[in-house]
Amino acid sequence: MAGTGEIDEGFYSRQLYVLGHEAMRRMGTAEVLIAGMKGLGVEIAKNVILSGVKSVTVQDVGQAEWSDLSSQFFLQEAHLGQNRATCSLPHLSALNPHVLVLAHTGPLNEDLLLKYQVVVLTDSSLDDQKRFGDFCHKHEIKLIVTDTKGLCGQLFCDFGEKFEVLDRDGEMPASLTIDRITKDNPGVVICADDQKHGLFDGSKVIFSDVQGMTELNSMAPVEIKVCGPYSFSICDTSTFSTYERGGVVTEIKQPIMLNFKPLSEALNDHQLLIMNDYGKISRHNTLHLAFQALHGFVKKEQRLPHPWSQSDADLLLNIVKELNSVAKLEELDEAAVRSFSYTSRGDLAPMNAFFGGLAAQEVIKACSGKFTPLQQWLYFDALECLPEDGVCPEESSFSSNGTRYDAQILVFGSEFQQKLLRQKYFLVGAGAIGCELLKNFALIGLGAGEEGHITVTDMDYIERSNLNRQFLFRSKDIGKPKSEIAAKAVAEMNPQVNITAHQNRLDPDSEGVYDYSFFMGLDGVAAALDNVDARVYLDKRCVQHQKPMLEGGTLGSKGHTLVVVPHLTESYGPAKSSSGNTIPLCTLKNFPHRIEHTLQWARDQFEGLFKQTPENVNLFLRDPKFIERTLAHGDAEALEILGGVWSSLQEMEAGGQRPKNWEDCVGWARCKWESLYNNDIRQLLHCFPPGELTSNGLPFWSGSKRCPHPLTFDPNNTTHIEYVMAAANLYGQIYGIKGTRDYTEIRTTLDGVSVPPFSPKSSVKIHLTDKEMEEDRKKEGDDADKAQLEELKGKLSLLKSSAQMYPIDFEKDDDSNFHMDYIVAASNLRAENYDIPAADRHQSKRIAGRIIPAIATTTAAVAGLMCLELFKLIQGHKKISSYRTAYLNLAVQYFVLAQPCRPQNFQVAGKKYTLWDDFLVEGRRCNQQEMTLADLIQHVKKTNGLTICSLFYGPAILYNRHEDRLKMSVSSLVKMVTKAEVPPHKKMLELIPSFDEDEDCETVPTIRYMLL
């Protein structure tokens, strides 16, 4: 990209959905200087280079030391004694072919800074920060200062006296369907009740397609005031025409101008501190002074405080108190200052990952004008990672030993490092978060000892769109397994790491691999998954085996982390119902009012025409029982499916839809266009004319029901011809017929196509609700339907020898396959029918392809927070107050770090339990014969005082006072009831009981029945 204006959409695909094209173009002209190539500097450089600025210069005068290897992932032992910037350059250059990366090994000076639009200082002195801060402020160079010391970090931004933010939050502008507008002063707009407007006081909106109160359509943006989640007031509408129906209100985003103080002034302004953990307000104010005090300590002593030195901590605390004589903080967190002093020599990969993500996001804001910058200080600490007892260990256990973990040992000591090396962890997912976690694991030494091990599994293969944020992968790796390449990359970072890569999907089918023995051999699990169902399944396995789980996820600039600790916190839990996001079928079929509706409709058309019907045809051709099974679905559905199969197999001359050549495909596409965008709309308007009233006397076409109009085909209309080209080519593909992209040839072919005439019918029923639709679908067919089904069965029996078809799986990222061409054209034509604003290809691809926006900065920050929680797990922390869940939005510097929730209690017969409590039963004790059901019932009664009255294994009823089953062994009973063998790998059966003592109890402890 680098300033050419051309954006590589294949490479930046997911990031474009976060930043947008305009912001990316502005970034493509920016030149950035990053000073300091220790762990924090390289983390920022990695994220900024991946984001796609014009150039990045990395500056460092220092040589690589052992302590750098704790967090600088592009330095290796062979680089010791060499310049850090020079050694990092080849690796940084390989991250993004569109960004020029340079190294500068000389000192910083004003002449150097003048070459850049954005300057980032890491590991710098306060004197340099003030000097260069004043210089940058004067010369309108955006300045970011950041540093981490052990478990504490700071971030500062100065973007000058007038910095324009073009989009404060990056959210899509609201586009809302109007239900009604009052004639009043001020007028009130009430939106359709299927979508909250999400606006705030002062938002500006424009109106379009309003009927009746047409004055609004030509007005400049109007400022609003929120009345409720579905309503807001606007200007005086009392003299306007009366509102009739229709209309869309669209938010117009307004730029804002921000003012920043230079660092030398901002140092004394505690109002500029942005809080992130609201239990630590006094601590963050104290850290603002502690970082200044640390600079003073270093200036005086020419060194950082010694690890866990009481005398140095006393000295630092005294300097903080001196500073506070001016700052006058009401409360100083003296314990935090001492801990800060004890650990300030440390350099931790997770802290650098977190601050590296945040600082790089500020660089992106400075370059693009997108999102709200930090104003102006942020402090964060994870001092809860230290031992809970607060006892200061001996200084001797923190000495440097000339190992790659030296800078981590300075914080936690050598004993803790040995624990890290012995860990056995299971990472599920090697995508964006997975890559970042593996990098952090390698740097901290997780599983890098003789007894330690990491297992990573991911079933996916590397695609080009992954390269922009999954930084362990390069172009040469495209098409290879993610887990294998990621494991190889981190083994190069730290050759001591013991890692095994699998390509298994984590689900019930892989329980033979990830069985009881596997899970019981683990110390913990990390989830780097991109879907809720997989997280829920993994969470369930962790609860079964009483293992802790680290979980994190991102959505563009937003991220979250969760730590699950057995017996201490709640688990991830079952999947929350997503029915609130489901679009009703009748809305898709007849009453769309948002572009999301037309895109989902287009996607459904694609799946039905080019995937489901060809699959049904192939099933019919090879499965003798296909018709019998289809008839069992009910007459209405069977007619639809079997009718589709017959028409797909029968040639066009005989009344079917099977093409013989390319010209037939073009003819089919033209007739399909007529059916969808003209005939179906005419039929709908025949049933419900534009002036139709409901039984209440209100207009039928109002609110979210937008009155459509039919389209007339025009071969010179770009969208019309694009639909025909895409549809004809896809139709040809499912029959093995080669098509063309030649518009002239297609237009010539269209001249010979005969479109059948159409007249709307009064007998057609249009469903107004999904319930109506479902009821009609389930109804027994009438005699005519049954006769039609019999006729179809006879016709199909003559077509058994037909050639198979070629179903198409939707693939959004291949621009040559016509898939997105079809979706965009089909959706925008439907949108035109209903006067819904069209969507461009980029927006359509995100919605129809269900793409999750992603950016490297958020991923790095989330992975950093997850690994800080990992430290706490390995410390063995028992207090829930030591752990944190996090919610962040880097676009607006929104951070909420909070204590996790405790597990919910439930009662059985007056005794309290949580999800972590189970009844563990050894089915074969001391190699004895397996328990009978009677033995199990007696065991539970004896050990838990509860009498089992019924017992379930999944949906199967094992026992409901069945006397004849009491003498059977439990595994034999499971086999008999499920009619399936218990797999050899299954060492634990989960049995759900009911008890005489509390039969109505909905939640009970699970019986985990062991077959060892």
In the predicted model, is pLDDT for residue 34 greater than 90? yes
Host H or E run for residue 419: helix 414-422
For the chain, what is the mean pLDDT? 90
Select the more confidently predicted residue: 399 or 859: 859
Confidence of residue 581 (pLDDT cuts 50, 70, 90): low
Lowest-confidence range among 17-21, 158-162, 186-190, 438-442? 17-21
The C-alpha atoms of residue 610 and residue 734 are separated, in whole angstroms, by: 7
As a whole-number percent, the residues of the chain with pLDDT over 90 amount to 65
Tell me the pairing of strands 1006-1010 and 163-165. unpaired
For 607, residues 6+ apart whose C-beta sits below 8 A from its C-beta are: 810
Q: Output DSSP code: residue 167.
A: B
For 498, residues 6+ apart whose C-beta sits below 8 A from its C-beta are: 447, 448, 449, 452, 453, 454
For 497, residues 6+ apart whose C-beta sits below 8 A from its C-beta are: 441, 442, 445, 446, 447, 448, 454, 490, 491
pLDDT (tens digit per residue) in 51-109: 999 999 999 999 999 999 999 999 999 999 999 999 999 999 999 999 999 999 999 99
pLDDT (tens digit per residue) in 552-580: 999 999 999 999 999 999 999 875 544 44
The C-alpha atoms of residue 556 and residue 852 are separated, in whole angstroms, by: 7
Pick from 656, 970, 632, 944: nearest CA to 792: 656
Angle at 333 (CA atoms; ends 332, 334), nearest 5 degrees: 95
Residues facing residue 887 across a β-bridge: 560, 896
Residue 280: its pLDDT value, please? 83
For 266, what's the count of Cα atoms within 13 Å in the CB-facing half-sphere? 30
The C-alpha atoms of residue 54 and residue 96 are separated, in whole angstroms, by: 11
Confidence of residue 2 (pLDDT cuts 50, 70, 90): very low
In the predicted model, is pLDDT for residue 5 greater than 60? no
Residues facing residue 406 across a β-bridge: none
Residue 726: its pLDDT value, please? 96
Pick from 177, 163, 146, 401: nearest CA to 291: 146
Structural contact between residues 592 and 839, judged by C-beta atoms closer than 8 angstroms: no
The C-alpha atoms of residue 733 and residue 725 are separated, in whole angstroms, by: 12
The C-alpha atoms of residue 583 and residue 593 are separated, in whole angstroms, by: 11
The C-alpha atoms of residue 481 and residue 497 are separated, in whole angstroms, by: 19
Entry pTM: 0.88
Neighbours of 331 (CB within 10 A): 11
The C-alpha atoms of residue 552 and residue 819 are separated, in whole angstroms, by: 32
Structural contact between residues 867 and 350, judged by C-beta atoms closer than 8 angstroms: yes
Is residue 550 packed enough to be buried (19+ CB in 10 Å), middle (13-18) or exposed (0-12)? buried
Angle at 737 (CA atoms; ends 735, 738), nearest 5 degrees: 145
838 three-class SS: coil
Taking CB atoms within 8 Å and a gap of at least 24, the contacts of 527-532 are 527/428, 527/429, 527/551, 527/552, 527/572, 528/427, 528/428, 528/429, 528/430, 528/431, 528/432, 528/433, 528/434, 528/437, 528/552, 529/428, 529/429, 529/553, 530/429, 530/431, 530/852, 532/575, 532/576, 532/578
In the predicted model, is pLDDT for residue 478 greater than 70? yes
Residues found in the chain: 1012
Q: How far is CA 640 from CA 213, 343, 608, 792, in A?
A: 44, 70, 11, 11
The amino acid at residue 532 is: V
Sheet holding 956-959, edge to edge: 918-922, 1006-1010, 988-995, 948-953, 956-959
Residues facing residue 84 across a β-bridge: none
* Number of H-type helices and E-type strands within the chain: 33, 32
Tell me the pairing of strands 499-502 and 453-457. parallel
430 three-class SS: coil
pLDDT (tens digit per residue) in 644-665: 888 888 888 888 889 999 999 9
Q: Is 586 a catalytic residue?
A: yes
Q: Which two tokens stand for residue 918?
A: 């189970």
Q: Output DSSP code: residue 464.
A: G
Pick from 111, 162, 112, 110: nearest CA to 140: 162
- What are the DSSP calls for 544-580, one per residue? HTT--EEEEEEETTEEEEEEE-TTTS--S-SPPP-GG
Q: Which two tokens stand for residue 540?
A: 């369930």
Q: Which two tokens stand for residue 842?
A: 């980029």
Average pLDDT of the residues in 827-850: 90
Q: Which residue has the tokens 């306007």?
A: 240
Q: Which two tokens stand for residue 473?
A: 């992968």
Is residue 628 packed enough to be buried (19+ CB in 10 Å), middle (13-18) or exposed (0-12)? exposed
Average pLDDT of the residues in 470-499: 93
Residue 578: its pLDDT value, please? 45
pLDDT (tens digit per residue) in 750-763: 999 999 999 999 88
The C-alpha atoms of residue 346 and residue 369 are separated, in whole angstroms, by: 35
Residue 779: its pLDDT value, please? 65
Q: Which two tokens stand for residue 221?
A: 């943006």
Pick from 395, 436, 617: nearest CA to 46: 436
Whether omega for the bond prior to residue 186 falls within 30 degrees of 0, making it cis, is yes
The C-alpha atoms of residue 925 and residue 948 are separated, in whole angstroms, by: 21
Give the active site residue among 586, 671, 687, 949: 586
The C-alpha atoms of residue 59 and residue 656 are separated, in whole angstroms, by: 70
pLDDT (tens digit per residue) in 126-140: 999 999 999 999 999
Host H or E run for residue 672: helix 662-674
Residue 537: its pLDDT value, please? 92
The amino acid at residue 50 is: L
Lowest-confidence range among 351-360, 387-396, 551-560, 777-786? 777-786
Q: Output DSSP code: residue 470.
A: -
